Every structure is written in C-alpha cells, then in structure tokens.
Structure 1
Amino acid sequence: MAEAVMNEFATFAASADNRTFPPLARSRAVDAIIDCIGCMLAGVDEPCAKNLRDIMSFGQRAATLSFVPGAGYTAAPEAALCNGTAAHALDYDDTNHPAYAHPSAVLVPALLAISPLANASGADIVSSYIVGFDLIGKLGRVLNTGHYAKGWHSTNTFGAVAAALACARLLSLPAEKISIAMGIAASGASGIRANFGTMVKPLHAGLAAQTGVRAALLARAGYDAAEDAFMGKAGYLTAFRGEEEAQPVFLSMPGEPLEILTDYGLALKPYPSCGATHPGIEAGIMLNRQLFPHGYAPGDIRRIRIGVARMALNPLIHHVTKTPLQGKFCLEYCVAAALVDGKVDLSTFSPEKIADQEIQAVAGNTTMVVDERVAESPEFSTVVLVETNAGRVEEILVPLAKGKPERWMSRAERLEKFRDCISYAHRTVPNDLFERFETMDSDIPVEALISTLRNHPAPRPNTAHDERRLAL
C-alpha cells in the first residue's frame, strides 16, 4: 500500500469529479488557465522557447500527439516541456504562496499536453487543475520557507509532483496508480534559484510539466515506485526540507483548506517580472503620479530607498541590470522604470528600455534594504522612499500586490493583459479567443479549444520585433 499521506492526496484526486469544487474555485481556475494560455502564446518565440523547439522533432497532427504553437505536434511530455517553458518565459504567469511557485505555467501545459490521451472536457481540465494546485500549496505549507531559502526553485520541485497528480487524475487512473505517478515524479523534481535571470528559470516550468506528464503515463503503463518515496528516510520531504522540520500533517488534509481559495493562494500578475518586484513597481507608479505632473523630472531624483521583506532577498538576486532577463529580478531597475515611465509592461524589459540612460541613472541612485516595517511580510510588502534634489521626500508602502485574491484583477484587466500578450506575440488569433476559453468549464472537448490555437499558429511579420527578440 502507498504511504498514508500520499494515499490521501491520490484518493482526493481520484474521487474528485466536476461537481466537487465550489463555483468560486472553478471560476478562479478558469481565470488562471486563460491567463496562462495568454502568457504561453506571448512566450512562444522567446529564445528560451524557440531554442528548445529547435532541438526537437515535430510532426503532423495525430490523435496521440500534442500541439505546440509555432512548431507542430510531438509526444505529450515534450509538448508539455515546450509549452511550460513558453508559459514562464516572460515571468508574466501567476504565483502561489506559501509555495513561492508558478503553478499554472506547470499545470496548464501539462494538462493540455496530456488531454488528447484522456479525451478530456474543459471541465475535466478545471477539476484536475484545482487538484494539482492544492498539492502545490500544501507542499509550500510543509516545506517553506526553508526549502526556498535553501536555493530550490519550487516551481519545479513542487510543480513536478503536482503535475503528475493532476495528469494522473485527468487520465482517470485509480488512486494506487496516482500515488505511483507522484512517486515517479518525486525523482524528477529539481531546479535551483541560482539560474534566476537566465533562460534556465523558465525551463524549470517546462521540465516540471514534462516530468508530471511522463510520470502519469509511466504509472498508467505499469511502472512502480517506492511506497515511501515521500515520507521515507531517503524520500522527497527529507531531501527537500529546509533547516526547520517539515510539517507533513498538511499533506493528510487535501482540500482543507482548498488552496485556490486561500487569502494568498493564487495571484495573477499585472506586471511581467518577479512577483517580489510588484509592490515596489506599484509604489513607483504611484510616486510618478505624485511627482512628475508637478514639474519634477527623472534628473531631479537624488535617491530612492526601497524597503523590502527579508524573503524578497531570495529571488531578487540582481542589483545591476544588463539584460532583459536580469531586469525582471532587479528591484532597483523595476522601481526606477516604474517611476520614470509611470508604467511597467512587456516593453519595459526590451533591450532598448534596459539601455535607457534616464532609467539606468535613477536605478544607480537606488538602494534596496530590509525594512523592519515589512521585514517579516510573506507577501513581499514594500516601502519606496523618493528624495528629490530640492529636498522633497515622498514615501509609499504597498502591503499587498495587485492580483492577489483580495485585489483580484477585474475581467477588463485580465482581458487587457490577454490582448497585450497576443499583441506582443504578433499572432493572428480570433477576436473572441478570450471569450471562447471563458466557456471551458463545461462539457466542451479540450480539442475544440486547442483547435483555436492550432488554426492560428503563425506570427505576423514584424522585422523590428524579430530583431528585438534576437537581442534577448
């Protein structure tokens, strides 16, 4: 028999049907899935995604193959790898606390990749997503913050196992085989934060999705795994825990609470950068509106002090920005760009904007320190203080980022972001693509939804856009 705590989650997944979860959980899941698809399309032609496709083989449409936008068809694990990497390429995809992970960039590509083998409906995808999301959140409760602080990237370490759970559920495997799938995935979980700010970080999401799909398929094919793969002396929890003792009790409580409905469980991103930068970005935009309409200019800024939580020091590993990917993990650059431009969007992380002398000058006068007022915040609360050459001082504290459950993005904001992603990708898609995916929590076949992507895969020609990508 599989070990008790994993058997609890496997049973939870196997017994969940499309009526199990409350409407708010399902609507939040649909919002997250649509958001992730937009991020995936925006990231398709980023170098980390394109270079990955260049070393793989693709074929024509077949019933057992999965679709990769911009390429064609391939086996489900490889499709999950490509699409997961694309979904996380721009760091625009959602996050979860306490996992400090990017759930949808793993779960959505994995579930879409395996759906042709499951004959799945949109509602099946939604239910499986909620199940996988719950495990990611529970693993965060068990292992963080020590796991993350130790150097692990939990998008991969937690995501691989959660994707296996979600995919095994989508394949309608019995609880015993779902446990085995999770045990298999436990041996594929990895990812180090030292690679933040490089192409390897988005690859982590792809690798986790691939591991989850492959583990579910291997379990279905008859593979076995150790019964103590999670709780054993040489198991997952022992290997991945931080300095503090792991709290496995949470793994015996699937759905209690339902992680997608917790106060900080699912957060959409209004800005395409590390989530730890978002409160600071919002403060920078607010300070722009306080100062610049009243005669101040970037050259009038003497200094900026950014006060952060201790936890923010873990992901924000860059303090001088030389590349777009580094900029996403450099709070000094993000706040300077927000203050100078009054906005942060996909163009903020172009080579041209990274080289902007005004922004770089302001960033050069910016310091980041741990501020005791927010030092223990698990939500990256941030205080930004600006002092002008004339001695004027303005300070703003943002305790909680936009996109968190308490500050959920409106439908109009989510639609605007989706369209921004499509525009960035220079892809021709149906005008009602967003609306079509809003209907997914139904009996509609997943294939009918994927066909809207398959029939519009080609980017519109844009020479300047292509040159910008080559520079990344």
Structure 2
Amino acid sequence: MSETPGIILARYAVSQRTAPLPSDVLEKVRVHLLDSLAAIVSGSALSARTAGRNYAELRGGNLEATVIGASRRFPVVEAALANGMCAHADESDDSHESSQTHPGCGVVPSALAVAEYVQASGEDLLKAVELGYEVTIRFGEALSPCMSFARSSLSCHAFAPLFGAGFAAGSLLGFNETQFLVLLNYLAQEASGLMTWRLDQAHTLKSYVFAGMPSSNGVRCAMMVKAGWTGAGDVLGTDRNFFDSISPHQQLMLNVSDLGTYHKILETDLKKYSVGFPIAAPLAALEDILDRTKVPADQIGEVRITYLSDWFKVIGDASKMPDLNLRHCVSATIVEGHLSFAMSHDESHMLDPQIVAAGEKVIFEDAPPDQDRFEAVVRVILTDGSTHIARQSREVLGRIQNPMTRSQSDAKALELLKTVLSEKSSYALINTIHSLEEAHTLDSLLNILRELKKH
C-alpha cells in the first residue's frame, strides 16, 4: 500500500505514544490541559453542564469515568459528552486561528475519560492530549478553506476536533497502525456539524457542536474499534475519499509532511477573556483607555467601536448570551472597569439598569477597507468633549504572538477553578498538572475534579 496521508498519520500516532515530548511542547501541553480543565470546572456551573449531566444520568450504565462535580462515575462515552458540554460552556477554552478550532474543549474531555477508563499515567494523558491537538489542528487547517473561510454552513469547530478526540482515545487504548486506520474510517462517517450553533441562546447547542459531540463521538468510534470493528482502506487517500466528500471541487489535503518535527499545539492561543474570540480586541482597547485615564463611567459620553462588520453578525445585539454579546461586555467593562467572569456569564447582568444605560452609549461602526479585519479601534468620548483612542490588533494577551507567562495562565485558571472548587483544591489541581508527567496514576487529579462545592 502506498504512503497515503492516513497511513502516515496512523504510523505517527503509534510512534508518538513512546517518543518523549520536547520540553517546550511538554510545558505547552501542561498549560493547555490546565486551561481546558479549568474551563470544564467553571463550565460545570452553567446550563450546558445541566444538559450533559442530565443525559448522562438518564443513560446510567457502567461506572467507568468521572463527570466533573459528580459523586458517581458514568460510561466513558457519556462522561466525555457531559464534560465536553462543560468545556465550551463559558468561552474560556483555548483556540487555534488557522484551523478555526477550539482544540482543548473537544480533545481533553475525550482523553480524560479514556485515561481514567484504562487507568493511564499522567504521562499517558499528556501524550494523548498532545496527539489530539496535533490531529485536530491539522484536520482543521485542511478543512477551513472550504468551511469557515468560505462561509460554509459546515462548522470546522465540530469536524476537526472529532478526529483529535478519536486519536487521543485511540492512543490511550493502545491502538496499532491498522486500528488507527480503521478508526479514521469511522470518524469520517461521524464527521458533522453545522453553523446553526450561532442561533443558540443558551450555549447548549454551541457547547454540543464545539465539544460535547466531537468528544463523545470520538470516544465512541475508538471504543467500536477496540471492540473489533473493521474497515479497510485509507479514507483520506483513496478515490472518493473524505475530503472529496466535503469539497469535490477543491484539492483538500491533510498536511503530514512535518509530523513529529513540528508540534501544532505551540500555535494554540489562550484566552485572557472568557468571551467569544472577536470580543477580545475591542475589550483590550477599551481597558487600555480606562487604565490610562481612570475615567469614571458617568463621565463617558460615547464609546465608538470601529470593527469589521462581519464580527457584529456573531457578537452583535442579536446574540442573547452575555459572553457573545459585545455591547454587554463593553457596557459591563465601562461600569466595572474590567470584565469579570460573573459579568460575562450571568445573564441577569444583561438586565442591570446601570449596564443597560452604559450600553446606550456604545456605537458600532464598520471598519474602513484599509483597516485589518482583526483590528479594533475604540474611541471613548467624554462628557467634556475630549476623546481617547486605542487600537488593538489580534495579538491580545494569550495569543501566540503575545503569550501568557506561566504565572498569568495559572492566575486565569485559578479564577475559573475557584468559581466551583475550594481555593485549596484549586491550587492542588494547578500543582498536580504542573508535575503530571511524574504521576503513575490519575487518582489525585480525579479526586479533585469530583469535588462539587466550595468549602
């Protein structure tokens, strides 16, 4: 059989399981695993968690894997689904621009569930997560030209993490090259996801599309292969292959040329703000002005935001979710001086008279043709007529061009974790992840994640 992309990927997945991770990659994996777990924990207090947990409770079944905050365990597929629903519930999870994916929310719930199921070590979990990111991002980069960047109805955010979640699960299950090729066939059959998540008003559908669906379907496909299901051929390299089915008129191809020599997780961004990505640049620009001027809210007459009009279709007034509504996030920042997690996730704040009044001062303006599509220009006009201006490019804190330090990423994780866990448990989880490769079991980590309330 010739060296088709699927064969190369399957062979790499086998070798990656025993190869040491470079030190910079290992550190990056730890940071993103912590970031994703913090997102799952904080998301477990929101409505998407209720949907996932209720489904898991309804299904019942074998006690195989932990659901965050639950006292009992659930079947591995249901655990991946329930934790996946939490992982993207509050927009605090990581992202990767060129692949148009949120890798962590799809990969980590899958890896965590299967790692517990097979009683994996900390190193096993870290390597599975790294493989999941690698596969997610490479599939996303292959698919995004005909999906997100082509304004397709298909959602790259769902398609790509499915493959990453499946490969992370397959790695932990000890798959050989043939099993990974069979897994690719079943993942290709499961691949789906529509952009209709943009219509969601409670983050349940969006959480399912971005995380719950790809994570649980990836685990299910891996468990099917583990049970002996067969499927011949490389679905990525044959005639009428997976990519042909998605876009028959484009030559889509999975890039496998630098597998093992370059690690895509190094390109993955962290979020400073727990909001939809397009909101970050206007917020950073506004915070810059407020930090410089120390101007109180009652002295602000107008806030004019010049931004690409396409962004307003995603984060404009039609969005009823606070973390995806630019006007609300800006208004809350005007009133409070910064955007707290509570302000961006408690819907009741959208009705706060003070915030509503501040929102009436916010004016959206379409960017001129020469303004970069990711740049936001914010003008704060005070009641005395003076104007303060700030520009923010895409390189907000947390982007790979402007990375967080470990202390900054730890601080972000701590804020999220403490919304649900005790301070002691929050610090314990952070410390556990920073030395996870030394852990022979995941017992300590899982015991922390089962804690439900602050103490």
TM-score scaled by length of structure 1: 0.86
CA 1:69–1:302: 2 relative to 1, 3 Å:
closer
- Give the aligned partner of residue 83 of structure 1: 83
C-alpha distance in 1, partners of 2:7/2:237? 12
Structure 1 position 381 matched with structure 2 position 393: no
- Give the aligned partner of residue 438 of structure 2: 442
- Give the aligned partner of residue 231 of structure 2: 225
- Give the aligned partner of residue 291 of structure 2: 289
2:438 aligned counterpart, secondary structure? coil
- Give the aligned partner of residue 156 of structure 1: 158
TM-fit CA distance, 1:245 = 2.7
Counterpart amino acid of residue 450 in structure 1:
L
Counterpart amino acid of residue 372 in structure 2:
A
1:395 aligned counterpart, secondary structure? strand
TM-fit CA distance, 1:249 = 5.3
Counterpart amino acid of residue 137 in structure 2:
G
- Give the aligned partner of residue 66 of structure 1: 65
C-alpha distance in 2, partners of 1:373/1:361? 32
Give the alignment of 1:403-414 within 5 angstroms: 403-414=398-409
C-alpha distance in 2, partners of 1:433/1:327? 28
2:437 aligned counterpart, secondary structure? coil
- 8 A contact 2:300–2:380 mirrored in 1: no
Cα shift readout 1:69-93 (whole Å, capped 9, x = no counterpart)? 2332111111000001111111111
- Give the aligned partner of residue 452 of structure 2: 458
- Give the aligned partner of residue 119 of structure 2: 119
Structure 1 position 206 matched with structure 2 position 212: yes
- Give the aligned partner of residue 468 of structure 1: none
Q: Aligned to 1:331, which of 289, 302, 326?
A: 326
CA 1:162–1:309: 2 relative to 1, 3 Å:
farther
CA 1:40–1:303: 2 relative to 1, 3 Å:
closer
1:7 aligned counterpart, secondary structure? helix
C-alpha distance in 2, partners of 1:146/1:370? 25
1:57 aligned counterpart, secondary structure? helix
**Structure 2: gaps of 5 or more residues:** none
Counterpart amino acid of residue 93 in structure 1:
D
- 8 A contact 1:49–1:86 mirrored in 2: yes
C-alpha distance in 2, partners of 1:278/1:110? 28
Give the alignment of 1:7-46 within 5 angstroms: 7-46=7-46
- 8 A contact 1:40–1:88 mirrored in 2: yes
Residue range with higher mean Cα deviation, 200-209 or 250-259: 250-259
Residue range with higher mean Cα deviation, 429-438 or 211-220: 429-438
C-alpha distance in 2, partners of 1:187/1:298? 56
Structure 1 position 341 matched with structure 2 position 339: no
CA 1:389–1:369: 2 relative to 1, 3 Å:
same
- Give the aligned partner of residue 147 of structure 2: 147
TM-fit CA distance, 1:388 = 3.4
CA 1:133–1:279: 2 relative to 1, 3 Å:
same
Q: Aligned to 1:175, which of 157, 173, 177?
A: 177
- Give the aligned partner of residue 318 of structure 1: 316
- Give the aligned partner of residue 391 of structure 2: 397
**Structure 1: gaps of 5 or more residues:** 462-472
Residue range with higher mean Cα deviation, 44-53 or 250-259: 250-259
- 8 A contact 1:161–1:185 mirrored in 2: yes
- 8 A contact 1:102–1:155 mirrored in 2: yes
- 8 A contact 1:77–1:214 mirrored in 2: yes
- 8 A contact 2:139–2:254 mirrored in 1: no
C-alpha distance in 2, partners of 1:393/1:47? 40
- Give the aligned partner of residue 467 of structure 1: none
2:250 aligned counterpart, secondary structure? coil
Aligned residues: 444
C-alpha distance in 2, partners of 1:256/1:152? 31
Residue range with higher mean Cα deviation, 196-205 or 380-389: 380-389
C-alpha distance in 2, partners of 1:425/1:271? 18
2:306 aligned counterpart, secondary structure? strand
1:387 aligned counterpart, secondary structure? strand
Identical-residue share of aligned pairs (%):
20
TM-fit CA distance, 1:124 = 1.3
CA 1:438–1:61: 2 relative to 1, 3 Å:
farther
- Give the aligned partner of residue 273 of structure 1: 275
1:157 aligned counterpart, secondary structure? helix
TM-fit CA distance, 1:271 = 1.1
- Give the aligned partner of residue 361 of structure 1: 357
1:441 aligned counterpart, secondary structure? helix
- Give the aligned partner of residue 258 of structure 1: 263
CA 1:249–1:79: 2 relative to 1, 3 Å:
closer
TM-fit CA distance, 1:195 = 1.5
Counterpart amino acid of residue 207 in structure 2:
P
- 8 A contact 1:2–1:179 mirrored in 2: no
C-alpha distance in 1, partners of 2:206/2:275? 12
Counterpart amino acid of residue 158 in structure 1:
A
Counterpart amino acid of residue 442 in structure 1:
E
TM-fit CA distance, 1:368 = 4.4
CA 1:449–1:174: 2 relative to 1, 3 Å:
same
CA-atom RMSD in angstroms = 2.8
